[in-house]
Structure formats: C-alpha cells, structure tokens
C-alpha cells in the first residue's frame, strides 16, 4: 500500500514520464533529453521569460506584441514537437503555424523600434532596470532556443527556415526593446 495520497480523476501528474521519457505531439515516446524536447524546452523558457518581461513592463506600455509572440511560440513548440514522420500530418492539421506574416510583423516591430533610435553605445551590460533586465533575459532565452532549433538538423529533424528566421528576429527585437527600456 502506498503512502501517497489518492490522485484526482484528472491530474497533471500522469507519472508516464517517471521513467525519463515523454511524448512528442502525436504520441511517440522519446527520452526527456531528446534534441526535440530540448528545443521545445528552450522555446518554453522563452515563453516564460516573455511573461516575466510583460509583468515588469511599465504601466501604460502595450503588451500586445509580447503576447502575440507568446501565442506564436505555442504554435512553434507544436511544430518542433512532431516526429519527422508526422511532419506532413502536422502541416495538414488545424494547428496554428508560424507564417510569413508573423515574420513580417516582427520585422516591422524591429524597424519601428529602430526608428525611435534607442540609445546604445556598443554592447550593453544588462541590468539598468528590472524591465530592461527582463527583456535581456528573454533575448538570451531566444538565442538559446535558436541554437537548439538550428541543432535539430544534425539529428534528422527538418526545420522550416522561416522558424529560424523568426527566432532570430525575435531576439533582435528583444535586444532593441531592452536598450529602449534602459532609457526609462
């Protein structure tokens, strides 16, 4: 008899990962340190870091762009979490996907921030204020996610080039937002 309390009928603790494995999107089991799981985890960390950046944003600032990126990251994670054999299934599914419009929107955001000419001299030393530091943490999470996603090719996962471009642009945008926030 177990000393554990009974689990509710619907519990987050499925215990299916107790052996060190987890599921890809359509159920294929892989080790928790599988490169795709590492990439999904890095994207999840970026999503959480964006949430922290939103929470530290000064009152009155628009959070819509950060929220939109968070929503797109969920779609991104789904695509990365597909086994290569399920890529066509995912492409044909109703799941949201990163598209050219998302990249164009982030490119436009980068251009808009650059047009405001945030001040920066050389490389930044993060930490001028809480919000700027939160944006820099999100930027470094974006770069880590980018490295994990790019690294999937060496493991046989084909990644649409648009996804890498999107992450690269998001990290550029976060760097610019952090520099802008340093002036607040």
Domains defined for the chain, CATH in brackets: 31-115+126-182 (1.20.1200.10)
Number of Cβ within 10 Å of residue 42's Cβ equals 23
Measured CA to CA, the distance from residue 79 to residue 87 in angstroms comes to 8
pLDDT digits (tens, 9 = 90+) for 11-59: 777 776 677 888 888 888 987 889 999 999 999 999 999 999 999 999 8
**pTM of the predicted model as reported, rounded to 2 decimal places:** 0.89
Asked whether the predicted pLDDT for residue 105 surpasses 90, the reply is yes
- Residue 94: what pLDDT? 94
Number of Cβ within 10 Å of residue 178's Cβ equals 25
The proportion of the chain whose per-residue pLDDT surpasses 70, expressed as a percent, equals 94
182 by Cβ neighbours in 10 Å (0-12 / 13-18 / 19+) ranks as: buried
């Amino acid at each position: 008899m177990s000393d554990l309390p009974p689990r509710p009928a619907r519990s987050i603790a499925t215990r299916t990962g107790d052996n060190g494995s987890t599921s890809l999107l359509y159920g294929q089991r892989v080790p928790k340190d599988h490169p795709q799981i590492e990439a999904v985890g890095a994207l999840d960390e970026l999503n959480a870091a964006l949430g922290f950046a939103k929470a530290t944003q000064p009152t009155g600032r628009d959070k819509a762009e950060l929220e939109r990126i968070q929503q797109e990251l969920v779609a991104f994670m789904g695509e990365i979490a597909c086994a290569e054999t399920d890529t066509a299934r995912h492409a044909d599914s109703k799941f949201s996907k990163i598209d050219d419009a998302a990249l164009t929107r982030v490119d436009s955001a980068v251009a808009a921030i650059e047009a405001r000419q945030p001040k920066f001299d050389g490389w930044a030393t993060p930490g001028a204020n809480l919000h700027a530091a939160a944006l820099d943490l999100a930027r470094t999470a974006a770069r880590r996610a980018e490295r994990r996603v790019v690294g999937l090719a060496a493991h046989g996962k084909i990644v649409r080039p648009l996804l890498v471009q999107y992450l690269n642009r998001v990290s550029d945008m976060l760097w610019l937002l952090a520099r802008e926030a340093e002036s607040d």
